[in-house]
Amino acid sequence: MLDEDKRRRKAAKIIAVLAHFLGREKADRGEILAGLTVGDIGCSAGFIADELAAAGASRTFGADIDVPGLKKAAGRFGHRVGFVCADGAALPFPDGSIDVLVFNHIYEHVVDPDAVVREMRRVLADDGVLYLGLGNRLGIMEPHYRLPFLSYLPAAAADRYVRAFGRADHYHERFRTRWGLRRMLAGFHVWDYTLPVLATPERFAGEELFTGPVGRAAKATLERTPRPVLRALLPLVPTYLWVATKTPRRPLGSPLPQPPEPVPTP
């Protein structure tokens, strides 16, 4: 959370996905979110919130329970981002008051992600947009501790695993499968941008996904793999990039070789 360069690269990807969904790809960098009230839920040190503000948001908020991170964020970016200490399940915003919410790789860290999603739905405007970066329980390499199959294990076995490798005393993160994430987003209309970003990383500021020899080989493999096969492998993709809305909306961006597809929710 404190790697500023990495967080700002993630923000560029988030903003590029939002620009495509909103049909604002041709807007200047500082106008993509013009006229919109934006919130970053789980903002920590505020790097992504700062980038959202720089993308032209009329008002930008960052919410977290990380008090040291919020103090650091307010000290650097408080002149253009409003930072609040708040539980994601009790956000201090009125109903329907936020146009764009960002919830990026946070759900596995919170006690009740379903309650947080319900609260985000409450504060989101009827025509608002929710960006979601979601880790997948069935991703082979666990992203926090870099141990294969860690997220597959029940809690007690996962605790023993991280202790055996000296990574931590306990494994607190709780990931869900693609089906579990779909259930978590029940009531939303969801579009999947995972394959569009992987297929055309240059369009979504995602070039860092394929750096180095291994990354270039992975990109070449993706380019050769038929789209039906990629779709069949989606349950094992380590991270999903989804855009959700309260009311039916379609992506307004230009055509893509691999377009975003709707995700059915219960």
The tens digit of pLDDT for each residue in 15-44 reads 999 999 999 999 999 999 999 999 999 999
Instruction: Kindly state the DSSP code that residue 205 receives in the 8-state scheme.
Output: T
Distance between CA atoms of residues 13 and 191, nearest Å: 16
How is the chain split among helix, strand and coil, in percent rounded to 5?
40, 20, 40
* Model pTM score: 0.94
Helix ranges, 131-177 (H): 155-164
Judge contact between 70 and 62, C-beta under 8 A.
Answer: yes
Tens of pLDDT, residue by residue over 39-72, are 999 999 999 999 999 999 999 999 999 999 999 9
pLDDT tens string 169-180: 999 999 999 999
| Beta partners for residue 131, in sequence order | 102, 243
E runs forming strands in the chain = 37-41, 59-64, 82-85, 98-104, 124-135, 189-192, 239-245, 261-263
Which domains does the chain carry?
A: 4-137+175-248 (3.40.50.150), 144-174 (no CATH)
Residue 209: pLDDT over 80: no
* pLDDT at position 192: 97
| pLDDT value for 208 | 63
Q: Of all residues in the chain, what percent carry a pLDDT higher than 90? A: 82
